[in-house]
Structure 1
Amino acid sequence: MANTSEKTLLVGNGINRVFCDSDYSWGDLLKDLSKLGSFDSGNIDLSNPFKPLPLAFEEILRAKQNYYKESVQVLKRRAAEIFEKLPVRKAHKMIVMSAKYRNVLTTNYEYTLEKAYAEIRYPDKNYEDLCKNKISTNEEIHSLMRRYEFTDECLAVWHIHGEINHTKYLNAEKILPSNSILIGYNQYVSYLDTIYRYFFTEKKTKYTEYTSLQEKMTTCLADPSRLNIETWIDFFFFRDIDIIGLTLDFSEMHLWWILNRRFSLIKDSDIFSEETDKKASFTPTNTITYYYPKLSKNCLEEKCSDALNDVKQKAILNMLDVLGVITKAVKCKSYEDFYTQVLGHNALASINKGWKKWSQSLI
């Protein structure tokens, strides 16, 4: 899909919070979920900033008065309903119009990026009709290969934390909408296990097939032109990545594990003991850059920011530095200014050039 000169973008929920007049945070999601159905949620503290979202989700499940599995399904459906209503905004259009990225990895469940791309390039068509893969993946729960690639091959959106409409999974015994949404601690742990196994083990079934990351590393050493990008994890080892709008909280254990694994290969100090790991040594040469806004002190948007307190932010930035990730503070007067600087003014110009044509859909 991608060649070695292309950059990849990893984006989080920050793009859905550029305009604070209709802000919706993960904390808001938890509060909504805690009010759903039959709960004894009087003792659940969702205001504590040190309580990780995956564990807070499990706490809500424990308060629900029916079976755990049924509760997960109910809460995921509700989460899908909430995120499905998020509108396409200027930030989404700046991302898909940026000339720098053809592959966008997102932790978001909804389809605002796909909709933004369709609205700009094909305003009379639905985004699903423009995708090469009408079904994003044959994975039922986890999301190594979950993506939508447009037929013009100019953009692919990878939903690395699942998606809200999972009724498209053809081979499920029971259709469970939003089954792939990654939100609870149990699913985070099982997802990490799936990622770990992918490093060393290929998968070949009737519906899903990929080679292991270890095999891809061997291929890249022999002939980089033969490398086939099959999962979003591959980008972390073979392509340059820019990260924006993503807090990278320490609860994102799978992302931190991948960054740690990558850095151990760079330093040739891999601590893994798998026999397959003793093959020819591969050293990642790609760069990963983490951009974060540094708003001016008089910025009105500071009051609606979900930025971490200084202590936690310094800890995250420090660990990123330790693991070989480039961290860049972007001085900006607003969040829109932040995205414009990182994505490139050409993205904003592309939108403004067609302002009259798309004025009804721009926010």
Structure 2
Amino acid sequence: MQHPVLLVGNDINNISRGQSWKDLLQDILTYCGTDCVQLDDKKPFPLLYEEIFLTAIRQSHIRERDLKTFIAQKIGDIMPNEVHARIRELQPAHILTTNYEYTLEGVTPEQSSSLIKERTFSIFRKYTLNGTEFWHIHGDCLNPMSINLGFEHYGGQLQQMRNYVVSGTTYSSPQAPKLPLLRRIKYGPLKEYSWLDLFFTQDIHILALSLDFVETDLWWLLTYRARQKFQRNTVPVHNTLYYYIPEEFLKASAFKLDMLRANDVQIVAISAPSKTAYYLEVLKRIAEV
């Protein structure tokens, strides 16, 4: 495929040596001084983040900006690996990522190419390097307050996403499109102002993203797109979404894959002897589409 569109999650970073997600959580607890908070896999992370932050507020009057700046510094230490480089070799037209750091870019961007400047949410958050547009859909390290971690932030992000797609934006900037995406798809003109445009117009290959159900913003987007295609049929939706998963995880992930199929996502299972080999095979398949 020439210049594909990718949605890339955090799992490719797990190939790199260094701090794990569990290590980061423990560092956050230490920074906040919240020894009474218990880490438990049963706690959805956005709510765990709220528990840590709200407990820290009561105990030490911590500022969220300071906490997110600390997190941004820690995440910024993630080292790039072979898979990041091979992704760039595909020369994607767009890379959407839930990651906050710049291992996909290969360098820290010097300047944003976003349509407007966003302080908190990430509808237009974009950097352009070597012909590829990188959309950090959950925030980025250069803007710590944009890093989407807590339940409240997820709620605000979803609100902005729904406005953009369904009812129209409320941004004061004259550059921001006022008409909702659905209306622009139906009547034109359609320009790629936001990463949200791509979900209704371009084939997207989703990899390294667990798509846990705490990702409420992405599950809403998948559901709304599918409803437009199958229920309302008010705008044309002809693009294809592909979700790549290791074959060994098919059985354990069956409940989630059923939901993805219901939401018009094609599942691509791949067998490989290692995590690196798996992602290299994924990229090979994408190049051959």
1:57 equivalenced with 2:49 (yes/no) = yes
1:342 equivalenced with 2:278 (yes/no) = no
Which residue does 1:156 correspond to in 2?
A: 133
Provide the C-alpha distance between the structure 2 equivalents of 1:31 and 1:6, rounded to a whole number of angstroms: 39
**Aligned positions of 1:87-236 closer than 5 A:** 87-99=79-91, 101-115=92-106, 128=109, 133=112, 137-150=116-129, 152=130, 154-166=131-143, 178-199=144-165, 200-203=167-170, 205-206=172-173, 208-210=175-177, 211-219=179-187, 226-236=189-199
Provide the C-alpha distance between the structure 1 equivalents of 2:173 and 2:115, rounded to a whole number of angstroms: 16
Residue 246 of structure 2 is aligned with which of 286, 290, 293?
293
Can you list the C-alpha shifts for 1:182-237, whole angstroms capped at 9, x where unaligned?
A: 000011011111111112114452375124212222235xxxxx420111111111
Shift of 1:261: 0.2
Secondary structure, in 3 states, of the residue corresponding to 1:51?
coil
Structure 2 residue identity aligned to 1:294: E
CA contact (8 A) 1:11 1:105 kept: yes
Relative to the length of structure 1, the TM-score reads: 0.72
- Could you tell me which runs of 5 or more consecutive residues in structure 2 were left unpaired when the two chains were aligned: none
1:264 equivalenced with 2:232 (yes/no) = no
Shift of 1:71: 3.6
Structure 2 residue identity aligned to 1:61: F
Structure 2 residue identity aligned to 1:29: L
Q: CA RMSD in A?
A: 2.6
Shift of 1:135: 6.8
CA contact (8 A) 1:30 1:57 kept: no
Provide the C-alpha distance between the structure 2 equivalents of 1:288 and 1:345, rounded to a whole number of angstroms: 14
Shift of 1:45: 2.5
CA contact (8 A) 2:126 2:133 kept: yes
Can you list the C-alpha shifts for 1:330-352, whole angstroms capped at 9, x where unaligned?
A: 111111111111112898xxxxx
CA contact (8 A) 2:32 2:62 kept: no
Shift of 1:68: 10
Shift of 1:143: 0.4
**Aligned positions of 1:241-320 closer than 5 A:** 241-269=204-232, 281-294=234-247, 311=252, 313-320=253-260
Indicate how the Cα distance of structure 1 residues 321 and 188 shifts in structure 2: closer, same or farther if over 3 A, else same: same
Identity of aligned residues (%): 29
Shift of 1:283: 2.7
Which residue does 2:33 correspond to in 1?
A: 38
Indicate how the Cα distance of structure 1 residues 34 and 189 shifts in structure 2: closer, same or farther if over 3 A, else same: same
Relative to the length of structure 2, the TM-score reads: 0.89
CA contact (8 A) 1:136 1:148 kept: no
Secondary structure, in 3 states, of the residue corresponding to 1:88?
coil
How many correspondences in the alignment? 284
CA contact (8 A) 1:238 1:284 kept: yes
CA contact (8 A) 1:6 1:240 kept: no
